[in-house]
Amino acid sequence: MNAAARVGLLRHGETTGTGFRGRGCDDPLTPEGERAMRAAFESSGEWDRVVCSPLQRCRLPAEGFARAAGIPVQCDPRLQELHFGDWEGKTAEALMQTDAEALGRFWEDPFGYPPPNGEDLGSFRDRVLAGWEQSVVATADRVLVVTHAGVIRLLRAHQEGWPLEKLLSIEVPLASLHVVEPSQRAGMPS
């Protein structure tokens, strides 16, 4: 990476769905979610290309951003959110009634206690980091990545040297932009 290279990690905006929205849910953005993403993009600076999750809450705005800027866009399925298994589409409040113990273990240690029938964080980490290395940082340019909260948490932990067990403590609001410099990688979390 050269000194001018940078990566922006943009989380999708508000969607029409509720509850855990992993790669098993493909909800569209609300009008407010679209507006918030457009505002984040317009104030984010210049980009050479866009890479995104193929889920419509990321892909559709990413395609619009790329078209407006006249830059290429690439969808990479490795940049999709964690698969929440049995929890897909269920709210934390509902799970507190039916699966409180498992939910509490996940919140305390998401690496050690994945959602039932969901993706474990080791597999998630390997998948996302492969997409990061091959689709995002393989070239020395300015890349906007339009993706999900879990992916952004994982990539920030990777860049900042955080342990995976602390992922949920990294704040990633809807339509938020996180700029990282891949050349300053702190090391791989374990």
What tokens does 152 get? 């952004």
**Average pLDDT value over all residues in the chain:** 92
Task: Read off the pLDDT band of 167 (50, 70, 90).
Answer: confident
State pLDDT tens for residues 85-105: 999 999 999 999 999 999 999
- Cross-strand bridge partners of residue 6: 142
CATH superfamily, region 6-184: Phosphoglycerate mutase-like (3.40.50.1240)
Residue 33 has phi, psi (to 5 degrees) of: -60, -40
Q: What is the CA radius of gyration of the chain?
A: 16
Residues 128 and 114: their CA atoms lie apart, in Å, by 16
What is the rounded average pLDDT of the residues 39-54?
A: 96
- Cross-strand bridge partners of residue 177: 10
Residue 12 one-letter amino acid: H
DSSP state letters, 12-78: ---BS--SB--TT--PPBPHHHHHHHHHHHHTS---SEEEE-SSHHHHHHHHHHHHHHT--EEE-GG
- 8 Å CB contact between 131 and 76: yes
Whole-model pTM: value is 0.92
Q: Is pLDDT above 60 for 187? A: no
Distances (CA, A) of 118 to 8, 19, 25, 52, 102: 28, 15, 13, 22, 12
- Cross-strand bridge partners of residue 74: 51
